[in-house]
Structure 1
Amino acid sequence: MDQVVDTPPRLELGLAWPNSFAGLGPAFYTELAPTPLPSPYLVGLNQRLAAELGLAASLVAGPEGVEAFTGNATLSGARPLASVYSGHQFGVWAGQLGDGRAILLGEAQTAAGAQEFQLKGSGRTPYSRMGDGRAVLRSSIREFLGSEAMFGLGIPTTRALMVTGSDAPVRREEIETAAVVTRVAPSFIRFGHFEHFSAREQYDELRKLADYVIDKFYPECRSTQAFAGNTYAAFLEQVSERTAAMVAQWQGVGFCHGVMNTDNMSILGLTIDYGPFQFLDAFDPGHICNHSDEQGRYAYNKQPNVAYWNLFCLGQALLPLIGDQELALAALESYKTVFPSELEAAMRAKLGLLDNQPGDRELIEGVLKLLAKDRVDYTIFWRRLSRHVAGEPAETVRDLFLQREAFDAWLLQYSERLDKAEVEESASLMLRTNPKYVLRNHLGELAIRQAKLKDYSEVEALLALVQAPYEEHPAHDQKAGFPPDWATHIEISCSS
């Protein structure tokens, strides 16, 4: 009698899967299936993203969808693989890295265009090194909420479709339970992919990768007249400018990434890899959100320079293709103009300034110094200032400061700068620029604590808030308030 072999069920999403990254060839990845987890269950579903992708939420969140997006079943058309890359970690060359706990299911044609689907926490791969290939519930919920919080703020980011959990134990500082987050992005290619092939002097593969990314995402670089028509220098410039704009938005909203290694930098200028991230509570320019970052390399105020350092590493990786060191340096130069310009524009919007006038930079720097001196809550200050410009008393803003005379002097200067004829327009701009809600650490921690008890209602509630952070949501005012004292003792690290 023939032996009957059980095959995993297949889920049909009705999508075409061109899987263009897989077409690059085996030098770029290892094909393998995710490692199943026992008895998976749904923790959270991003119904808004599902709708944007043209996916039926009932199918994705149903039993078959939970099995497929945990890695226990096969998605029809998917071609699971783990990609290889290298990178600098905390400023030190780490050599070969790769998707140590992530499996790229493939690229699908969705209602939102071509998108890659990736399972994070789906088991060991050839690039796991000493890791177990798993992610825990805690970190998976943080990424699920964090990436959607950034999207809600209008900041370029990867996104998360869903989180599934399993009671399978995972050892970190303590025994935790496993989870898988389904991430979605046009591409998950990182600076480290280019560093990998350049460091190994695999220049044919380096060119193949660069050509793939340029043709798919930066086609305008093919017809550039800049850099003597050098396509690869133009590509480096475009990546530099996208990265500059992204980091400027981080700084404006008070977002700390926490682990800006070159392998955690998206070639598309997307916020990627939500590990030890944090939105600022008290404004401290030197704040270090990553408990593992003992030297403070990735402190909030160092992020702009680190981004440039990472781009310099990318430039070195692309140098064999660019062929001229001076051209490569010239391609990086635009970062130094785009970042400050974008940051100043972001800060003018936060102040409701509708045009650019002399003295604006001093006005911006002045209020940031006051915020830092009194360690004023960053998000609450900007929201209250917005409400003041909209007509509420100034006292709600003044009460945030110990140095009230200094603040009063700044407020007078600011009030004189605002165009009284356009104050309603300024207030409107501020209220759609300065969020009422951000994903503070303590809010995420409370949701995680409930989720560990199999209560996911707070995950769902927070998701709704961060998807519309500029709206009032009066029933949730307490989530826009000051963090409790215990929030300062929350430690977030690279462990997940």
Structure 2
Amino acid sequence: MSVREPVQSAHADSGLEWINRFARLPEAFHETPAAAPFPDAACLATSPAMCARLGLGGETFERDPWLGACTRGSELNGAAPRASVYAGHQFGVFVPQLGDGRAKLLGEVRTGQGETWELQLKGAGPTRFSRGADGRAVMRSSVREYLVSEAMAALGVPTTRAVALFGSSLPVYRERVEPAAIVLRAAPSFLRFGHFEYFHYNGYSARLQELIDYALAHDYPELVDAEDPVAAMLEAVIGRTAEMIADWQAVGFCHGVMNTDNMSLAGLTIDYGPFAFMDAFDPGYICNHTDQGGRYAFDQQPQIAQWNLIRLAETLVIHFGDATREAAIERAKALLQDFQPQYQAAWLGRMRAKLGLQEEQEGDAALIQDLLARMAAEGVDYTRFFRQLPDLEQAETRAQLESELEDGAAWQAWWSRYQARLAQEDRAVEARRTAMNAVNPKYILRNHLAQAAIERAEAGDPSEVLRLQRILARPFDEQPEFEAYADLPPAWASGIQLSCSS
């Protein structure tokens, strides 16, 4: 049966229509994982936004059949659990087989609104691809992924989503003994660059063609009838990735582990591990203490994204429709060369909006770069500065900022240039303030906020997770009752260390 002709089956116990296109690929693509029950499992939190999109109430996950399916591996009528195989370049080194070592795809559903979502459990136990590991996730990493998935969506950044968070009494051994947890997450697609690398580099050319056909039908159906569908798909992935990275850089987000197996074919932020939103602006910020060489530092993310896209292109180019391999390679190179201009244009557009600029002018890039250089030199908090920028129209507020900076004269010189640039546009001050506050968040998931929620959740109290979830769902609103959550981080926050187990 073709993957373009999904089986449709609605089941009362799940409340969803399951179509499960990935499960109908041959066994070479996946395995059916065994159940790995959680003791004393409980649903700690659900995402109102995602439950609404799925057409399910949050209480659905507090009881069977969903609670059992997510935590005990019990059967959910209509679901088709699978763990997929893929490869990847990890810190630049190719690993020929990775796979869903602690993730299990429950299946793919179609909602009443016609959306399709793949539902996946992260931390649900070992699979054939666990490479000797336990297949579990700790509460620490699960809380972070649950919160940031929904926070990024509220910020407008393409991302996988979180549906529910489950806790357990099961102990997990990492740097210390920690309680286990599971996140039920959702995405239109969980295909990664690494899926294509696995079949290409291991010489499974027929399987690679099947995967390409599946990806086109599943992720890029609008390109199936293009003159050269595979080249068109690569072009689309390049464009989506450029937009995503521009979003990251604009909100000060550092992913931390941009391995090719953590890159989404659909252009989504995926696999939140040692991520961080920057506090004091530092272009070379490294959020993952495992990354001692700084390969995935904040300012390296655009270059690494292009490097990863080159690895993807290497798997696809032989399937281009060009008459010769040489012609296909040249076309792929041309497409890849477009990444940096696309990224730069997208990033400049977002930064102009952050500064309240409507029009494009030649000197804008220099104005922005000079501002970032000043912020880096002074260690200015990235999020708070842009949120407070409209208030600097007031001389008193501006004087207070200058008194806190070591080089007030340099700041004043930049401010004069900025004011001159604003004067070239016919826009009322209040209209500009409103527009700036709609793109410059007041609330982000800072590490110390996540840590406070983690510590309570580890003690069995999810109240801070739920509170942060509510705050981060409205990152651009003032929310005066939660003003303290927009404060500068406390001194102890600089000691928080994040690794790949985070």
Aligned ranges 1:17-36 → 2 under 5 Å: 17-36=18-37
Q: From the superposition, tell whether residues 170 and 404 of structure 1 become closer, same or farther in structure 2 (CA, over 3 Å).
A: same
Partner of 2:331: 327
CA distance in 2, matches of 1:400, 1:14: 57
Tell me what 1:117 maps to: 119
Are residue 478 (structure 1) and residue 479 (structure 2) matched?
no
Partner of residue 394 from structure 1, selected from 384, 398, 405: 398
Q: Given that residues 91 and 295 in structure 2 are in contact (C-alpha distance below 8 angstroms), is that contact kept between their aligned partners in structure 1?
A: yes
Structure 2: tracts of 5 or more residues without a match = 1-10
Residues 420-449 of structure 1 deviation map (CA, whole Å, 9 limit, x = unaligned): 543333212210110000000000001101
What is the TM-score of this pair, normalised by structure 2?
A: 0.93
* SS state at 1:96 partner: coil
8 Å CA contact 1:195–1:314 kept in 2: the answer is yes
Instruction: Provide the residue aligned with 1:127 in structure 2.
Output: 129
Are the counterparts in 2 of residues 35 and 71 from structure 1 also a CA contact under 8 Å? yes
Matched, 1:373 2:377: yes
- Paired residue for 1:50? 51
Query: For 1:189, which of 177, 188, 191 is the aligned residue?
Result: 191
Q: 1:327 to 1:282 in 2, by over 3 A?
A: same
- Whole-Å Cα distance in 2 between the matches of residues 156 and 396 of structure 1? 37
- Per-residue deviation at 1:399? 5.1
Kindly state the Cα deviation for residue 241 of structure 1 after the two structures are TM-superposed. 0.8
Other-structure match for 1:5:
none
Task: Choose which of 492, 495, 499 in structure 2 pairs with 1:489.
Answer: 495
- Counterpart Cα distance in 2 of 1:243 and 1:399: 40
Specify the code of the residue in structure 2 equivalent to 1:123.
G
Paired residue for 2:77? 76
Deviation at 1:217, TM superposition (A): 2.3
Amino acid at match of 1:265: M
Aligned to 1:262: 260
Structure 1 residues 158-196: Cα deviation after superposition (integer angstroms, max 9, x where no partner): 000011011111100111111110010011000000000
- What displacement does 1:208 show? 1.3
Alignment of 1:298-313 (within 5 A): 298-313=296-311
Give the counterpart letter for 1:107 in structure 2. Answer: E
**Partner amino acid for 1:97?**
L
C-alpha offsets along residues 381-428 of structure 1, whole Å, 9 cap, x if unaligned?
001103445998434543553221111111111112113543333212
Cross-structure match for 1:278: 276
Q: 1:327 to 1:401 in 2, by over 3 A?
A: same
Deviations 1:96-153 (A, max 9, x none): 0000010000001124511000000011100000211000011000000011111010
**Corresponding residue for residue 62 of structure 1:** 63
Report how many aligned residue pairs link the two structures: 483
Which residue is equivalent to 2:96?
A: 95
1:10-55 CA-partner distances (Å, limit 9, x unpaired): 9812211110111221111001243111110122211221012111
Going from structure 1 to structure 2, the CA distance change for 1:381 and 1:23 (only over 3 Å counts) comes to same
Secondary structure of 1:119 counterpart: strand
SS where residue 312 of structure 1 aligns?
A: helix
Taking structure 1 as reference, are residues 95 and 291 closer, same or farther at Cα in structure 2, changes over 3 Å only? same
Q: Distance in 2 between matches of 1:365 and 1:71?
A: 52
Distance 1:64 1:75, change over 3 A: closer
The reply to whether residue 408 of structure 1 matches residue 412 of structure 2 is yes
1:89-488 matches, within 5 Å, as 89-111=90-112, 113-224=115-226, 229-322=227-320, 323=325, 324-388=328-392, 393-395=397-399, 397-398=401-402, 401-418=405-422, 419=425, 421-488=427-494
Larger mean CA deviation between 391-400 and 351-360 belongs to: 391-400
Asked if the contact 2:70–2:124 (Cα under 8 Å) also holds between the matched residues in 1, the reply is no
* Range with greater deviation from structure 2 (196-205 or 114-123): 196-205
* Separation (CA, whole Å) in 2 of partners of 1:390 and 1:242: 39
Q: Work out whether residues 105 and 121 of structure 2, in 8 Å CA contact, stay in contact via their aligned partners in 1.
A: yes
Alignment partner of 2:18: what SS? coil
Tell me how far apart the structure 2 counterparts of residues 61 and 194 of structure 1 sit (CA, whole Å): 37
* Contact 2:43–2:61 (8 Å) recurs in 1: no
Q: Distance in 2 between matches of 1:129 and 1:46?
A: 32
Q: Distance in 1 between matches of 2:68 and 2:394?
A: 49
Asked if the contact 1:159–1:185 (Cα under 8 Å) also holds between the matched residues in 2, the reply is yes
CA shift at 1:68, angstroms?
A: 2.4
CA contact (8 A) 1:95 1:196 kept: yes
User: Would you say the 8 A contact 1:11–1:75 is kept in 2?
Assistant: no
Residue 163 of structure 1 aligns to a residue whose secondary structure is strand
Which amino acid in 2 is paired with 1:361?
A
The AA in structure 1 aligned to 2:501 is S
| Residues 237-246 or 388-397, more deviating | 388-397
Range 162-171 or range 412-421, more displaced: 412-421
1:379/1:400 CA distance change after superposition, 3 Å: farther
SS of residue matched to 2:71: coil
Deviation at 1:60, TM superposition (A): 2.2
The whole-number CA distance in structure 2 between the counterparts of 1:314 and 1:391 is 51
Could you tell me whether the CA contact under 8 Å between 2:34 and 2:127 is conserved in 1? no
> Under a length normalisation based on structure 1, what TM-score does the superposition of the two structures give?
0.94
Q: Is the 8 A contact 2:189 2:219 kept in 1?
A: no
Q: Go from structure 1 to structure 2 and tell me whether the alpha carbon gap of 1:183 and 1:99 turns closer, same or farther (over 3 Å shift).
A: same
In 2 relative to 1, CA 34–188 (structure 1 residues): closer, same or farther, beyond 3 Å? farther
- Provide the alpha-carbon RMSD of the alignment: 1.7
Contact between 2:86 and 2:197, CA under 8 Å: does it hold in 1?
yes
Deviation (angstroms), 1:223? 4.2
Moved more, 186-195 or 26-35: 26-35
